[in-house]
Chain A
Amino acid sequence: MNKIKQYFKTHSYNIATYGIVIIAYVVMQYLSNADMLSRSVNGYLVPICAYIVLAVSLNLVVGISGELSLGHAGFMGVGAFAGIVTAACLQGVVDSDFGRLMAALLVGGVVAGIAGVIVGVPVLRLRGDYLAIVTLAFGEILKNIIGNLYIGKDETGIRVALSQAELHLGAGGKVILSGALGATGVQKLSTFFAGFLLILFTLFVVLNLINSKEGRAIKAVRDNRIAAESVGINVTAFRMKAFVVSAFLAGMAGALYGLNYSAVSASKFGFNTSIDILVFVVLGGMGNILGSVISATVLYVLPEAMRGLADYRMILYAVVLILVMLFTWSPKVKEIMSVVTAKLGGIFKKKEVGTNE
């Protein structure tokens, strides 16, 4: 029993994070099944999951590794289109929709991870502001590359080209991606359940990473690069690991997002989306994973919920952002919050231990 007590004590933050996500999923799934959600709210569920994963994965780079990356949506886009192509290719091969979705998520993650390696090699030579600007540039490059790809399939296999005419599809061939128009006629595979699983997977990977020797090394590099080197840590390798894991997860989120709509174009994965994700991370707290989960949800729902205000909603959204930032930045509020979270943490710990005894 003592061991269990000890476990809950040292892992209370992780347990709280998983717990909140699971409870939120159960509640939303219940409401959805009971038909208590409007059609628009039902439509938000999958994108919220995708944005939570994006925020958590960006937090790994911005909060834990301490590099300001402005190109996260680029990896999301790569993952989205890789996932869409995978799902389309597996149509008729794998019968189960869920199986195809999982394969699409995996391929989306791997392709984005590879993109992460390619982008990471030049980007991680830089630091600070310079790194931010170069990631911004690479984000746009990725967006433009996927925005100019034509991918089709026919009985001979997949064909990739830079224009419709060069595609030379055989009889019965089907265009999956058509350049700037993006993917159309995508079969909607993403489900809220899959999104929930992806969030759990992301939390599992990121929280485990943070609490391992790799995570400590990444944080050490963030806190003091020279000291980290002096204790035998290969700084470049660890910045790279964080960057690639983050790109991989962003790719999976992108695939989930892409397979949620019947039409997706590359323009979605530009600078604006990168900044949106960054806002989620900053508002939720650098390095605070649970904060990213909550702020991604709230900030995604907020502008949607204010649709009734028409043109004023983005102004209101901005005002809310400014107020929240000022509020959370004030030292007094910080003090109050730390007391509140300590108390809440205490209650939570006791409850958790209690249920296990």
Chain B
Amino acid sequence: MNEYSRKMLKVPTYNLLREQDMGKLPVLDVRNLGIDFGGLTAVDSFNITIGPTEISGLIGPNGAGKTTIFNLLTGVYQPTRGSVLINGIDTKGMPTHKVNKLGIARTFQNIRLFSEMTALDNVKVGMHNEIKCSFVSSLLHLPSYHKAEKAANEKAMELLDFMGLADVANVKAGSLPYGVQRRLEIVRALATNPSIILLDEPAAGMNPSETMELMHQIRRIRDTFHIAIFLIEHDMNLVMNVCEAIAVVNYGRIIAKGTPEEIRQNPAVIEAYLGKEDGE
């Protein structure tokens, strides 16, 4: 590969690394990432390494730069400094659609489904690069088109079924309930066959029982597809329960990394969330 491939995961990156990830190439390796908007430094010196089957969380107060970091990782923004390596390949200068092909998929904080299309078609759009069928074959509906379409339909239905959405396959995505739309976004991200998915506030707007369900599903996704999950979430119950490692950002910088227990007790984190105690 490159000089990078020598640097496998040896030492636990934060404080915890799953045994099966030891000695493997990290799926996401971010070094010294930073972006300035005009004079404003939105993200600075952001470092993180995520193993191939790790569930990690990114938390921080509102406006800390979490979604900006996701946009940097997926190529929506080009970083001012630093680099993002996905499966060992530098994404520098790549447009979003090429970065996706390296194995990173995401969901959005404000849901971005293809609202005029059915749930099934949304998933099939996610499978776009998986469906092998030439433009001419699509135009003329040659036998290879029918074969590819059939396989795509089956796989899309499997994925929908996996997240319990098989019943709504033929419903327009825009008319689905909010919680279902969030889950559909996850299915669409999974459909791109990623090695890591980024979830931007997956539990936003969900009630406690839906959030519980989501927690199980997040673990099931990791255990079934053997992929890494990196999520932004404000629901501390979900983050503390599902994440194996957590990074906390404030003002665009990492202020703490560690296991949920360590984060819970970290004074810097408590300060960022609750503010400094008076009369110090």
Contact = CB atoms under 8 A, between A and B. Distances in A.
Contacts of B126: 231
A229 interface: yes
Contact of B112 (A214, A215, A219, A224): A224
B138 A231 contact: no
B121 A216 contact: yes
A232 B112 contact: no
Interface residues of B, number: 39
Given A208-B139, A217-B125, A227-B108, A235 B116 contact: no
A330 interface: no
Contacts of A212: 133, 138-139, 141, 145, 149
Contact of B138 (A209, A223, A232): A209
A233 interface: yes
B138 A208 contact: yes
Interface centre among A209, A212, A222, A241 (most CB of B within 10 A): A212
B74 interface: yes
Contacts of B139: 205, 208-209, 212, 214
A232 B116 contact: no
Interface residues of A, number: 26
A231 B170 CA distance: 20
A212 B95 CA distance: 24
A208 B141 contact: yes
A220 interface: yes
Contacts of A214: 135, 138-139
Given A230-B100, A232-B128, A223 B192 contact: no
A212 B121 CA distance: 10
Contacts of B106: 230
A233 B148 CA distance: 18
Contact of B97 (A209, A216, A235): A235
A229 B95 contact: yes
Given A213-B131, A214-B138, A241-B135, A231 B105 contact: yes
A234 interface: yes
B169 interface: no
A223 B117 contact: yes
Contacts of A316: none
A209 B189 CA distance: 24
A232 B74 CA distance: 11
A181 interface: no
Interface string B109-136: 0001111110001001111110101010
A133 interface: no
A233 B125 contact: yes
Interface in B154-190: 188-189
6 contacts: A209-B138, A217-B128, A220-B125, A223-B116, A232-B100, A233-B128
Given A212-B139, A223-B117, A230-B96, 18 more contacts: A205-B139, A208-B138, A208-B139, A211-B141, A212-B145, A216-B125, A219-B125, A220-B125, A226-B112, A227-B108, A227-B112, A231-B105, A232-B98, A232-B100, A233-B97, A233-B125, A235-B97, A241-B135
- Top 4 nearest A-B pairs by Cβ distance? A212-B138, A227-B112, A223-B114, A232-B100
